[in-house]
Amino acid sequence: MNSPEATTPRSPVGHPLVGFEHSELVYPDGTHALRDVNLTVREGEFVSVVGPSGCGKSTLLRLSAGLESITDGYMQCGADRVGYVFQDATLLPWRTVWDNVALFGELDGVPREDRKHRIAAALATVGLEGFEEHLPHMLSGGMRMRVSLARSLTLDPDLFLFDEPFAALDEITRERLGVELNELFAAKGFAGLFITHSVSEAAFLSNRVLVMSGRPGTIVDEIEVPFDFPRSPDLRFEPEFAEISGRISHSLKGAHS
């Protein structure tokens, strides 16, 4: 992805965009998904959540997007514009790259000229200029994910929700997209809430990594990742990075047992 503004300092971490306090969620069938969740994501910070399968990570994202409601406690989302990226790029197969990226602006009623500018800028940001007329089946998995990111970028989100967006990609593509997302975050300054199973991906991308217990999920640990943004791909080879990843893995192992 091209991030021409990557050297611009990010806006400082600001007011809370998502807040959970003693939040509970019991689904109508009685499944107790979340228990006493306390979590804040502030403007300009990137927070990852790791935890065992089925512990309620996707539920946490759906709540943050306003697609579900908690059943007890307190929850608030103060974001004006929310971007949501899933593991599956969820593109419409009959629409070209351009028309897929246009979708959210169309649904949001963005005027045509403004929409055109936003689509062109988003495609340039994710490095997909020249692919505007391609259909999704003509793209690699990594390119499809870039289209999905671009589609949300047209909304200029102040909060970006990511549900394991790179999980289906090969390791090299996954790492490259992680670096590009990190540059994008450094340049744009949106807040991010990122679900992943990859400890090193969580550590590389985030200001903080939260570890969840098994269901009913609750946050059992929080690990600060104190490196500046944007982060160099070589950070992954630094002993300090290995030490932090080790702490997350250790905590995650405890959460599984």
Burial of 155 (0-12, 13-18, 19+ CB in 10 A): buried
Spatial contact of 36 and 60, defined as CB atoms under 8 Å apart: no
CB of 68 to ligand ADP, least distance (A): 8
Residue 65 interacts with ligand ADP (CB under 6 A): yes or no = no
Minimum distance from residue 54 beta carbon to ligand ADP (Å) = 4
213 near ligand ADP (CB under 6 A): no
What are 65-70's contacts with CB under 8 Å, separation 24+? 65/161, 68/25, 70/20, 70/23, 70/24, 70/25, 70/34
Near ligand ADP by CB under 6 A: residue from 3, 58, 125, 148? 58
Instruction: Draw the binding track, 167-186, toward ligand ADP (x: CB under 6 A; -: no contact).
Output: --------------------
Q: Residue 146's closest CA among 132, 206, 158, 116?
A: 132
Q: Is 55 in contact with 217 (CB distance < 8 Å)?
A: yes
DSSP 54: T
Least separation in angstroms between residue 160's CB and ligand ADP is 17
Residues in contact with ligand ADP, counted by CB under 6 A, come to a total of 13
Site string for ligand ADP, 14-43 (x = CB under 6 A): -------------x-x-x-x----------
CA-to-CA distance for 165 and 56, rounded, in angstroms? 17
Contact residues for ligand ADP (CB under 6 A)?
Answer: 27, 29, 31, 33, 51, 53-59, 215
